[in-house]
Each structure stands twice: as C-alpha cells, then as structure tokens.
Structure 1
Amino acid sequence: MARKKITRDAAAVVTGAGSGIGRAFALELARRGSRVVCADINLAAAKETVKLIEELGSSGTAVRCDVTKIDEVEALAAKAEAWFKGPATVVINNAGVGAGGKPVGVTSMEDWNWVLGVNLWGVIHGCHVFAPKLRAAGRGGIINVGSTASFAAAPMMGPYNVSKAAVLALSETMAAELQGSGVHITALCPTFVKTGIVNAGVKDGRIDAGTSGFAEKVMRWTGVEADGVAKQTLDALDRNQLYVLPQLEARAIWRMKRLAPGLYARGAGVLNRFMTAKA
C-alpha cells in the first residue's frame, strides 16, 4: 500500500502566513485537508488567512510570532502542539523581507541585520525548533523558502542574496543530515512571485525607488501566481525533492551559473553597469 502523502491531512505550521506565498501555502494545505497554524508578525493578517481557511472547510488558528526571536518560535511550537494535540508534521519557514538598491559598503548595517534577522535567522530558528521533533516522529517535512537570489547573486542585493544563499545551504545540509529519517526537506527557489514583498520593502525604506520600479516591471512580465508555486512545492515535498525552481528563468540561471560561473559573474557586472548608467 502506498504511503499517504505527508502534505495531506497534515498538522502544518506556516510562518509569514498573513500574505503572499505564506498565505498561498496555508490555503493549499487547507485544500488538502490539513489543519494549519498561521504564524505572522501581523496577527490581524494571520487571522484573515484563518478565515479563508475556514471558508475552505478546514481549520486554522492564528499566532503572532516574530521569527527573529528564538523564544517566540519555541512558543509557536508549543502553541501548535497544544492546538494539534500532538506535534506538527509539516513546517514551512516562509517569513521573509526584501531590501536592495545599494552596493555592499553602502548598504547600512541596520538593513543587513534586519534582512538576515528575518530571512536567515528566522529559518534557522524554525529548523532548530522543529527539526528534532520531526526526526523523533520519523515522518514529516520542512519547506524553507529561499529564492533564485540564493545562487543568482544579482548586484545591489547583497543582504537579500546572502540571506537566501544561506537558506539554501542550510536546506542542503539538513537534507543530508535527515537522509533516511523519514523527514523530507525542500528548498523553494523562485524568481518573481506576485506578492507584496517589493511594495513592503519600499514602504519600509529598504528598497529604493529605482530598484522597486524595475522589480515591479519584471514581476508583471515574468511573475507567477503564488497559488501555483505553493501547490508545486508541496507536491515536491511529498516526493522528497530537495530543489524547486518553478520558473524557466530560474532553471536557466541555475544551469548557467554552474556551467560558466566566471562568465556569469562578469555578465552580471556588465548588466549592472548598464542599468546603473541608464538610471
């Protein structure tokens, strides 16, 4: 008899579930009959996601959580376990922020700390707290939401690139450590997904106007809907597939970077000089 897919009827925890990809993951899990703990630093947004889950006929609960703080992630795990009446079986470390538009050396240390705090330490905290529980259960999975930025290394995006590269390395490390344990690890590395991360970065003053304008244009041209990305990634977790690169351009960059890394870096530099001069 085939083993039941781990994303079906799961006890799932999703960080950054109040909007964007996180909300898409929460709703797709609900469609699969899963109960979902929707964690977000914005509790009102998390509650909105729970309402949408309930409209789908499933159940969810909202928890405010700042993933940069290990004690809050530990409290999230405890609240989830109490609500599920047992351990979580699927964990999605999705909470993330964006910053960009300045070179290394000009980007403020405040921006470095902010981006790494959410994008990297948030994922580390989630893995540190939940991975031992999943290993003990011998079943389940973790999705870490990275980005094509983890290997594309586009200029003027230092903090974001570094945070996502580290998330990919963490995911690869855990996939090796958990091999044979029954716990699946998947790293999602998309290019542009139609979410509000760029607008949020502009509002916070972390992404400059020029960079945001370019990003919004590219998102309109090449961005995919978050719902499809969530479905594809959850299916990949069921298959124990480590890498998910949902778009053609993500896969093209992946291959180009590995076939000709020096040429790729020079090409990225030329493109950056052209874009800077044009601006």
Structure 2
Amino acid sequence: MTRHTKHADAVVTGAGSGIGRAFARELARRGGRVVCADLDETAAKETVAAIHAAGGEALAVACDVADVAQVQALHDTAVDWLDRAPRLVVNNAGIGAGGKVVGEAPLSDWQRTLGVNLWGVINGCHVFVPTLRQAGRGGGVINVASAAGFTAAPRMAAYNVSKAGVVSLSETLAAELAGTGIAVTVLCPTFVRTNIFDGELIDPGAAGMARRIARIAGFSADRVARTTLDAHDKGRLYVVPQLDAQLLWRTKRLLPAPYTRAAGLLGRFVPDEEGASR
C-alpha cells in the first residue's frame, strides 16, 4: 500500500467548509502541509486557523476554480510556498443545484454549475497534473464527484451532468496515468452533512428535503474524508462510501430500464420551490 496521504504536501480546493475542510484538516493531521483554497478567503483562513491550532501547517488562498487563470495562480502560489510540487491535489470545490426539470432550469444555472463542478475539476487537473508528472515523485489526485453522477435523479440535471463528467474525467485520467505512480481516486457520496444544501441554485423545497435526509442518514464530512484518503492509499479508483449509493450503483448497472422508471416515479415526490410535490 502506497501512503500517498502520509506527510503529503497537498492542495485542497473548496477547503473553506464541508468535505474540503475535512480533507484539509485530516491531511494536516497526517503530517502534511496543506494549501487551502476557496472562493471565500475568509472561510479558507478559518480552516487554516483550525489547522494551526492543532499544530499543523497551512496556507489560505482565494481561488475561483471556474477561472483557469486563478487555478494557475493557485498552482504557482502552492509551489512557491511548499518549495516544490504538491504530492496530492484534491479537486473538491463544488456547488449544489436542483429542483427544476430540464427546460425550466435557467441556462445560467447550468453554466454556473458546470463551471464550478466540472470545469473546476478540469482546470485543476489541467494545471496540476503536468507538474505531478514532471516532479517524478508519484503522488495522487482526488476528484470529488457524487453519487448523482450515476444515479441521474430527476430535477437535478445540471448537477448530475457535472458530476458524471467528473467521474468520466477521473476514469480517463487514471488510464492516462497508469504506470506513472500517480494514483487517481473519484469520490461519489450520497448525503453528507455539509452546507452544500444552502446553495442559491437549489430550490428551497428540494434543499429542505435534502437537509432532512442528510441529518438523519448522512455521513459526516470527517468520516467521508478519512474513508476517501484511506481508499486512495490503497489505490482505489472509486470511493462510494455509503451503502445507499452502492446499492443504487449496482441496481442501475443490472437493471437500467426499471431503475430509470423507478427514479421517475420517486422524482414526483420531490417538493418544488413552493413546497409541493408534482
């Protein structure tokens, strides 16, 4: 087992809250120096302060991952601060979106969701992977997708498409990096107790239901981060941490047509922005 996450100089995007903050704190606990990037620099600094309080080393950087120039600046800042290439890159930054069917969801919602959730990961891989290759020290890339990338739940099209793209990108990247010593892992959780449901692109009715499910059945961000890092050390491409996601993945692969019909029926019970089901 290669311990990519032990004493790993790492870059984590979306590190100001949720799963990103959990990744940053866990990597610091494992002895690594962590560059904590977030659109909200204040939130990133809060993560850094927590790491410093625990005796770790970290740096906060403001970055909009949808802007490749800012991701390149993040890369340059990280290499300068670490005084070498990072060993691990966690492309985690993402936003929630959902509640409207295709044709009703504004194209601006599609553009913003794909810009952050998919292009943010594309930009991270495009900028950092060549540096990992050139460093010749192995290392790893963890891309945060979602079970939404394969469950294709109704009224979540933009989010589903963005996360499916991250899964496909990760699979492709893993094939391209085979034999280089650079491991690739893609995380596909279902409900995690984070603030992602507070996003402005999620209708209030759908967000409220998601929060209730996460509160009852969701995993903590800390648990998801630990599980993912341990799986990455074992060389696993896919991390599907929750039983519900594992069951949905297998069911869809075995029974695609019945699965889609069932998903359509269940989608009618998702409340819209007025709180009513369709």
For the criterion TM > 0.5, the same-fold answer is yes
Task: Give 2:23's aligned residue.
Answer: 25
Q: 1:77 aligns with which of 65, 75, 78?
A: 75
Task: Give 2:239's aligned residue.
Answer: 244
> Aligned letter for 2:6?
R
How big is the shift at 1:274?
A: 4.3
Partners of 1:184 and 1:7 lie apart in 2 by 11
> Aligned letter for 1:194?
R
Write out per-residue CA displacement over residues 139-180 of structure 1, whole angstroms, 9 at most, x where no aligned residue. 000000000000000000010000000000000000111011
Task: Give 1:11's aligned residue.
Answer: 9
Partners of 2:140 and 2:217 lie apart in 1 by 29
SS in 1 for 2:140: strand
Mapping for residues 186-265 of structure 1, pairs under 5 Å: 186-199=185-198, 201=199, 204=200, 206-265=201-260
Task: Give 2:157's aligned residue.
Answer: 158
SS in 2 for 1:141: strand
Q: 2:101 aligns with which of 93, 103, 110?
A: 103
Task: Give 1:128's aligned residue.
Answer: 126
Write out per-residue CA displacement over residues 13-70 of structure 1, whole angstroms, 9 at most, x where no aligned residue. 0000000000000000011000000000110110000011111211000000010111
Count of aligned pairs = 273
Partners of 1:226 and 1:6 lie apart in 2 by 20
1:87 aligns with 2:82: no
Mapping for residues 168-179 of structure 1, pairs under 5 Å: 168-179=167-178
Deviates more, 1:140-149 or 1:263-272: 263-272
Q: 2:262 aligns with which of 259, 267, 272?
A: 267
| Aligned-residue CA RMSD (Å) | 1.2
Partners of 2:277 and 2:114 lie apart in 1 by 30
> Aligned letter for 2:83?
K
Q: 2:58 aligns with which of 45, 57, 60?
A: 60
Mapping for residues 42-53 of structure 1, pairs under 5 Å: 42-53=40-51
SS in 1 for 2:251: helix
Check the 8 A contact 1:135/1:182 in 2, yes or no.
no
Check the 8 A contact 2:206/2:270 in 1, yes or no.
no
1:182 aligns with 2:177: no
TM-score normalised per structure 1: 0.95
Write out per-residue CA displacement over residues 193-236 of structure 1, whole angstroms, 9 at most, x where no aligned residue. 1000101x1xx2x1112111211111112111000110111111
Check the 8 A contact 2:96/2:113 in 1, yes or no.
yes
Partners of 2:58 and 2:28 lie apart in 1 by 8
Partners of 1:183 and 1:87 lie apart in 2 by 13
Question: Structure 1 residues 106, 278: CA separation in 2 closer, same or farther (over 3 Å shift)?
Answer: closer
SS in 2 for 1:62: strand
Partners of 1:36 and 1:21 lie apart in 2 by 14
How big is the shift at 1:273?
A: 2.7
Check the 8 A contact 1:35/1:59 in 2, yes or no.
yes
SS in 1 for 2:98: coil
Runs of 4+ with >3 A deviation: 274-279
Check the 8 A contact 2:148/2:164 in 1, yes or no.
yes
Partners of 2:269 and 2:14 lie apart in 1 by 35
Partners of 2:165 and 2:233 lie apart in 1 by 24
SS in 1 for 2:110: helix
Partners of 2:254 and 2:123 lie apart in 1 by 34
User: Runs of 5+ in structure 2 lacking a partner?
Assistant: none
TM-score normalised per structure 2: 0.96
